[in-house]
Amino acid sequence: MFSSSERFDMGSSRGDAYATDYDKNDKFSLKISTAFVLTLLAVAISVCVGIIVHFAGGNKNVTCQCSCPGDGSSTGGQIGCPEQTTLPNTCTPCSNVTQTPPVDMTTTEAPTTPQAPAITDDVWLPTALEPYHYNVVLRPNLYETNPQDFTLHGYVRIYFECKERTNNITIHIQNLNVTSGSINVTETTNRQISVLNHTRDDSARHFLIIWLFEYLEAGSNYYVEMEFSGPLQNEDLSGLYYSSYMEGSDERYMAITQFQPTDARKAFPSFDEPALKATFNITLERRNDTVSDMITLSNMPRIHTVQSSNGYFADIFEKTVVMPTYLLAFAVCDFPHKVNTTKYNHTFRTFARKEYIEHTNYSLWVGSRLLDEFEDYFEIEYPLPKLDMIAIPDFSAGAMENWGLVTYRESIMFYHPDISTVSQHIFTAIVVSHELAHMYMPEWNYLLRGGSHEIHENLVTKVK
């Protein structure tokens, strides 16, 4: 570290020497002469540049041209345009030229059809309508030779209350096509509302906008229904997608869902925001003329099965409790299961492919015990009649707390004492406890728009 006295103490003799040199007259006169020479050199360079510019540019007159009103041509010497200027290569501005007024692009005529709202950064749905119930029928086609040909067909009826007078119904849709002529809007008094048209112009926000010939009135209830179809894909493992796995030398397929946070719109048209909760009647269709019989699973227990068309059977599930779209879950597969009954008489099951079903014994034991413990801890009864856990071969998340049908990555849900590690034993219990804790606080999050997913996850982490 340097102090101020140390920095400038250079010795007396050296300091005197610098002072003596600075005061000498010959050094002072040298600086004056140098400055004089540099000044003369700068003046000479300036003069030379001026001479070069003068002779190279020439002293030519330039005819200015203006676009004069009338014929729109550019000519010199017309009224209102200067003919010449004596300065080289310059023109004075045109004067006295009549300016053409701007064209008025506005019109007072009403558009023949309503226009879609301008796309903004606001991705929320309009607040005019609020859903309260859905009827959903889905038929995933897993039975083609090439999985690229797998498709999804469905039907949805959405009941909603009109909160603000409006002449359109705006809902979410993504990667699905509405069947032409299938959209119907009806007041719950059975009065039909005529549909003007529907548009996907606001596809950036995944909006399907259905324009009506008349206004929906605040305080009234209506429903909108439609048929739709689309590809059953597995590119991003979201929405309703197919998963594949090997059974011996054969490739098998299943359909499964991952809707959090806003991918239910890929499975059926919906008000797909976490704050917009409703009840759901779910029907899933499957075929049983394949190598192994298919089953279907959803949030609630299956109540009965009816024959559908084209060799399909329709499994009809109990009506759900009030819940957001992102907690819905569907599965179509040929998985076997293990079952247990909790202390409070809830059915607890685990599902996995045949080869690994024995690897779910530990998850079944841990899960059913934890469900009892949570009921005792919260002093709140588990609100659903059953709880299923299913291991998915292709699953992007570690696990997902779908109410009544929890989905897991296989490596998280599986444990076998002969081959699994101690850390896997602990990790499986931790993840299962985390997901089951969600069962008791699904309403704590997303109560309003902008609810914090991180806060909800932190609460669940504390509980587990």
**Would you list which residues are annotated within the binding site?**
434, 438
Q: What tokens appear for 426 in the block?
A: 């602990």
Q: What tokens appear for 270 in the block?
A: 């919906």
Q: Which of 251, 435, 443, 457 is catalytic?
A: 435
Residue 36: in which H helix or E strand, if any? Answer: helix 25-57
Distance CA 112, CA 30 (A): 89
Q: Are 273 and 261 in contact (CB under 8 A)?
A: no
Please enumerate, by residue number, every residue annotated as part of a binding site for Zn(2+).
Answer: 434, 438
Sign of the dihedral defined by the CA atoms of residues 7, 13, 14, 16, in that order: positive
Q: Are 158 and 175 in contact (CB under 8 A)?
A: no
DSSP characters over 338-379:
EEEE-TT--EEEEE--GGGGGGGHHHHHHHHHHHHHHHHHHT
Those residues whose C-beta lies under 8 Å from the C-beta of residue 313, and which sit 6 or more positions away, are 285, 286, 287, 288, 305, 306, 307
Q: Is 435 a catalytic residue?
A: yes
Could you give the dihedral angle defined by the CA atoms of residues 274, 127, 263 and 183, in that order, rounded to the nearest 10 degrees? Answer: 130
Only one residue has tokens 């009827």, namely 135
SS3 94: coil
Residue 435: in which H helix or E strand, if any? Answer: helix 422-438
Amino acid sitting at position 213: F
Distance CA 444, CA 327 (A): 13
The number of angstroms, rounded, from the C-alpha of 152 to the middle of its chain's C-alpha atoms is 21
Neighbours of 172 (CB within 10 A): 24
The residues carrying an active-site annotation are 435
